[in-house]
Amino acid sequence: MSLVAEAFVSQIAAAEPWPENATLYQQLKGEQILLSDNAASLAVQAFLQMCNLPIKVVCRANAEYMSPSGKVPFIHVGNQVVSELGPIVQFVKAKGHSLSDGLDEVQKAEMKAYMELVNNMLLTAELYLQWCDEATVGEITHARYGSPYPWPLNHILAYQKQWEVRRKMKAIGWGKKTLDQVLEDVDQCCQALSQRLGTQPYFFNKQPTELDALVFGHLYTILTTQLTSDELSEKVKNYSNLLAFCRRIEQHYFEDRGKDCTFLLLCIHGNF
Amino acid sequence: FRGSKGRPRQDGGPLGAQLLGRRLGAPIGTQRVLGGDGDVPILTTEDNIVSQPAKILNFLRKQKYNADYELSARQGADTLAYIALLEEKLLPAVLHTFWVENDNYFTVTKPWFASRIPFPLSLILPGRMSKGALNRILLTRGEPPLYHLQEVEAQIYRDAKECLNLLSHRLGTSQFFFGDMPSTLDAYVFGFLAPLYKVRFPKVQLQEHLKQLSNLCRFCDDILNSYFRHSLGDG
């Protein structure tokens, strides 16, 4: 968005309070949505819960095409549509709600850096696994991505998306990586997050911020999504403070409010 | 792998890698860049050829040259996070300044680069790197609703300036990012900032912004004076 457009949107956003009927759009939960999109959607949901803003989740097969940026999730608030966590955080801030106001400049810099780390490593690894790992592509991704559409559209769309993602991976230097290298990157990222979190309840001690929402979205989805193998979730399970972190946010912001969420209990206590 | 002050590079690290090597006492001299598969920078030792900054840093680490022993676990994690920030927010604009912006590319980057690699690679490699840079920028940042190259350019420069501001906040008045001794993060940041700071370009918007952040300029000058003094005369 250009500077002028951004300022314009901020002004409109600030004019009205958060309505009761705000909705979040994502793909179909059971049959269609993929790992990376699910993580992004959960991150936004967690963020809005942390801000105490009511949101209704609506699943649509064409959510990706409805979105202004082509990415899910997007929220429909009043007569505005905003997609992706970054712009949504800005939008919510323009309405007067913010989780990171209490941070000083150095902490804000740190928060942004860690958010980029998650995007750079975790999100890219999820995309790699979904679209560049032959086993996952064949068994899971193609079928799920094309599920709402009739033949031959389902194949065409899936191949098109795969081509797009692979092109991007090649441009950023991930094209030549093997699955083991990608899993090692995930491990490095989780180790960094675990070290930064330490024994605190949230990344910036007592209050959660958008970073906590983003990390929760990704880690929770990795832990609870069934893939061809458990290697990815095993990497996260190595870090007990991250597991406790996910459980804490799930309990506090989802279960307590009667939201529909799969339970992590088996995951942590079963320790498999 | 030449250590020259005016050296442009493709992604944030050859100067940084050389800095780290020197800081740790590894003997890194100036060597001619071999073609290889077109990857620069390249570190050559008796029996190894390593390319790409991250791999070079890993290689040095495995050879027991490590600047991060004194860092705590948390500082190590911060290093990874800030490197990710640099790659996502600063790198596109730096790539653009060096390799895509026509005035800069044709008057500075291409002649300099071509003069330091052997013929016939000097005819092919710069063009390939320029296309690769544009490709990378468009694929990673040129998504809807930004449809025109100018809008993408505006966005990436805005992100880069914000990133420089964040680095400046983080550095504050310290000499290095983690106390008194330079670490891997200092090397990475230096690798990005020093060429941006010192190379004389026709189109200089990012450089102008950097020059306003006096602590980052002081950071670059300090490192240049301490570790690169003897090669200041080269290029």
Q: Tell me: the pLDDT tens digits for A153-182?
A: 999 999 999 999 999 998 888 888 899 989
How far apart, in whole angstroms, are the C-alpha atoms of residue B201 and residue B192? 15
Least CB–CB distance from B81: residue in A106, A113, A198: A113
Report chain A residues whose CB lies below 8 A from the CB of B151.
2
Which one, of A1, A89, A101, A100, lies nearest residue A53 by Cα?
A: A89
pLDDT at B47: 45
Rounded to the nearest 5°, which phi and psi values hold at B72?
-75, 170
Q: What is the average pLDDT score of chain A?
A: 86
Least CB–CB distance from A109: residue in B87, B139, B169: B169
Cβ within 8 Å, pair A109-B89: no
A7-30 burial by CB neighbour count: b if 16+ within 10 A, else e?
Answer: eebeeebeeeebeeebebbbbeee
How far apart, in whole angstroms, are the C-alpha atoms of residue A202 and residue A215? 10
How far apart, in whole angstroms, are the C-alpha atoms of residue B104 and residue B117? 19
Report chain A residues whose CB lies below 8 A from the CB of B145.
1, 68-69
B10: confidence class by pLDDT, cuts 50, 70, 90: very low
The enclosing H or E element of B80 equals helix B73-85
Q: Give the whole-number percent of chain A exceeding pLDDT 70.
A: 90
Residue with tokens 């060597």: B31
A3 interfaces chain B, CB cutoff of 8 Å: yes
CA distances from B228 to A219, A250, B200 (A): 43, 52, 19
pLDDT at B8: 33
Q: Which residue of B has its CA nearest to A185?
A: B80
How far apart, in whole angstroms, are the C-alpha atoms of residue B235 and residue B232? 8
Which one, of B192, B208, B203, lies nearest residue B97 by Cα?
A: B203
For A22-152, where are the alpha helices, taking DSSP H only? Answer: 35-50, 63-66, 85-94, 105-117, 124-131, 134-136, 142-145
Q: Is residue A169 within 8 Å of A128, Cβ to Cβ?
A: yes
How far apart, in whole angstroms, are the C-alpha atoms of residue A2 and residue A4? 5
> Helix, strand, coil proportions of chain B in percent (round to 5)?
60, 5, 35
Which one, of A114, A95, A91, lies nearest residue A103 by Cα?
A: A114
How far apart, in whole angstroms, are the C-alpha atoms of residue B17 and residue B22? 9
How far apart, in whole angstroms, are the C-alpha atoms of residue B84 and residue A121? 8
How far apart, in whole angstroms, are the C-alpha atoms of residue B189 and residue B174? 14
Least CB–CB distance from B139: residue in A3, A110, A168: A168
A74-107: per-residue pLDDT in tens?
999 988 899 889 999 999 998 888 998 888 888 9
Cβ within 8 Å, pair A195-B140: no
A215 interfaces chain B, CB cutoff of 8 Å: no
B7: confidence class by pLDDT, cuts 50, 70, 90: very low
Section B79-99 average pLDDT: 90
B176-231: per-residue pLDDT in tens?
888 888 888 888 898 888 888 888 888 888 889 999 999 999 999 988 888 777 55
The ipTM is 0.86
A131, amino acid identity: W
For chain A, where are the alpha helices, taking DSSP H only? Answer: 3-15, 35-50, 63-66, 85-94, 105-117, 124-131, 134-136, 142-145, 153-171, 179-197, 210-224, 231-237, 240-249, 265-270
pLDDT at A15: 72
A268: confidence class by pLDDT, cuts 50, 70, 90: very low
How far away is chain A from the Cα of B37, in angstroms, using its nearest Cα?
13
Q: Which residue of B has its CA nearest to A168?
A: B139
A262: confidence class by pLDDT, cuts 50, 70, 90: very low
Report chain B residues whose CB lies below 8 A from the CB of A121.
84
CA A64, distance to chain mean position in Å, is: 14
In this structure, what DSSP letter does residue A19 have?
Answer: P
A177-203: per-residue pLDDT in tens?
899 989 988 998 999 999 999 899 999
pTM beyond 0.90: no
HSE, CB side, 13 Å, CA atoms: give it for residue A178.
2
Of A100, A120, A166, which to mutate for an interface test with B (greatest number of B Cβ within 10 Å)? A120
Which one, of B136, B108, B113, B107, lies nearest residue B126 by Cα?
A: B113
A13: confidence class by pLDDT, cuts 50, 70, 90: low
Question: Residue A58 pairs with which residues in a beta bridge?
Answer: A25
B122-166: per-residue pLDDT in tens?
888 888 888 988 888 888 887 766 667 788 888 899 999 999 999
Report chain A residues whose CB lies below 8 A from the CB of B12.
none
pLDDT at A222: 93
CA dihedral A169, A225, A262, A84 (to 10 degrees): 10
Question: Residue A24 pairs with which residues in a beta bridge?
Answer: A57, A75
Least CB–CB distance from A114: residue in B81, B146, B172: B81
B155, amino acid identity: Q
Contacts with B17 (C-beta within 8 Å, 6 or more apart), sequence order:
B41, B43, B53, B56, B57, B60, B187, B191
